[in-house]
Amino acid sequence: MKREQLIQNIEKLKHVMPPYVLEYYQSKLTIPYSLNTLYEYLKEYERFFSWLVDSGVADVDKITDVSLSVLENLTKRDLESFILYLRERPRLNTHSTRYGVSQTTINRTLSALSSLYKYLTEEVENEDGEPYFYRNVMKKVQTKKN
């Protein structure tokens, strides 16, 4: 994908993200993460936050309204339900009758979520110099490698 198109796609995704994801994005630009990596991560966040809203885990109507407390209080069971959703949902953009995304996609999704959780629980500072919250449920979730 050309850089200009990549930037346009990133901007579209940024408009639907909660503020703390935008902070994460800005922080990772300083490292710098590649735009491709950030784009892929934002797509994974959109998928995850859409599931939070659609499944009722987050009692909101829009992704932008998913609060930090939803992430802080997410259970291991919730995350396992999300992984099962990924494994069982119909494939998009294909004529295949197979269900579920590949293990590679699941691993990328979990890597993106782990990165966000690490940022929120260890790297970011609120006005008191503390992370937004301490409980990192991603440390409890396992997946297999390919």
Residues 49-77: tens digit of each pLDDT: 999 999 999 999 999 999 999 999 999 99
Residues 88-108: tens digit of each pLDDT: 876 555 555 566 888 899 999
pTM exceeding the 0.85 threshold for the entire prediction? yes
Ramachandran region, residue 36 (left: φ > 0; alpha: ψ -120 to 50; beta: rest): alpha
Return the closest-CA partner of residue 89 out of 40, 50, 37.
Answer: 50
Instruction: Evaluate if residue 7 carries a pLDDT over 80.
Output: yes
Q: Which token pair is 143? A: 């997946």
Query: 3-state SS string over 113-131?
Result: HHHHHHHHHHHCCCCCCCC
Return the closest-CA partner of residue 16 out of 43, 51, 54.
Answer: 43
Indicate the SS3 state at residue 80: helix
